[in-house]
Amino acid sequence: MNLTGFLTLAGRESRRVIRIWKQTLVPPIITTTLYFLIFGKLIGGRIGEMNGVSYMQFIAPGLVMMTAITASYVNTASSFFLSKFTRTYEELLVSPLSSHNIIWGYIIGSMMRGGLAGILVMLVSLCFVSFDIHSWAMILLTLMMTTIAFALGGFINAIYAKTFDDVGIIPTFVLTPLTYLGGVFYSISLLPEFWQTVSKFNPIVYMVNGFRYGFLGVSDVPVIYTFGVLLLFIVVLYSIAFSLMEKGVGLRS
């Protein structure tokens, strides 16, 4: 492993997140504040409790996870595609960096953006609700593995993308619907049995519930499944990303 090259690339991607903080960190804070005001204050007051906790407490972990998912995915997709668009990725391909170095360099940057965005949203949530944290280990591990998985998804998206429009297709038409149907704003136990079964095929359900369990100690699915789903996604997506990099798909052709 070329440690110096890897740290340089990872540092560049991490600094990029901080340098353009008005684009990477401010929008999630504004959006989440509106969610808390509309869903938490206005609608939540009418709903009352969900799974034994206040509705505001129930949705807060889901909003943090939703922010982290979107931020980590978009960061890798946009950053790597921009390097393709400006052809600066060619410098990476001719450098001593291996495919592993390049992939993990971009992953670290996305983990930085997803993690920071999630933490900031978590701090915003404390303005509306308080928590007795059930498991910090569960919170941190779920957040870390989720950002890695979606950073890899964004990386693959960027490899195949040929235009800036291609970068936005997956977040708009896949991630957003899966996230909203992933139990962020409701417990899947409220759904009819058929739709509960269908929801369990949505991987984001396990991520949101695992994260919520860390905060509140409640979950709609066994939390061990959270790590199984995340590990499976990381292994599969990493294998695909590595294979594409080695073959030069979308890069050398």
Q: What is the DSSP annotation of the chain? A: --HHHHHHHHHHHHHHHHHTHHHHTHHHHHHHHHHIIIIIIIIHHHH-EETTEEHHHHHHHHHHHHHHHHHHHHHHHHHHHHHHHTTTHHHHHHSS--HHHHHHHHHHHHHHHHHHHHHHHHHHHTTT-----S-HHHHHHHHHHHHHHHHHHHHHHHHH--SHHHHHHHIIIIIHHHHHTTTSSS-GGGS-HHHHHHHTT-HHHHHHHHHHHHHHS--SS-HHHHHHHHHHHHHHHHHHHHHHHHHTTTTT-
- Whole-model pTM over 0.85: yes
Which pLDDT tens digits describe the chain residue by residue (253 residues)?
678 889 999 999 999 999 999 999 999 999 988 888 887 777 777 777 888 888 889 999 999 999 999 999 999 999 999 998 888 888 888 888 899 999 999 999 999 999 999 999 999 988 888 888 999 999 999 999 999 999 999 999 999 998 888 888 898 899 989 998 999 999 998 899 999 999 999 999 999 999 999 999 999 999 999 999 999 999 999 999 999 999 988 776 5
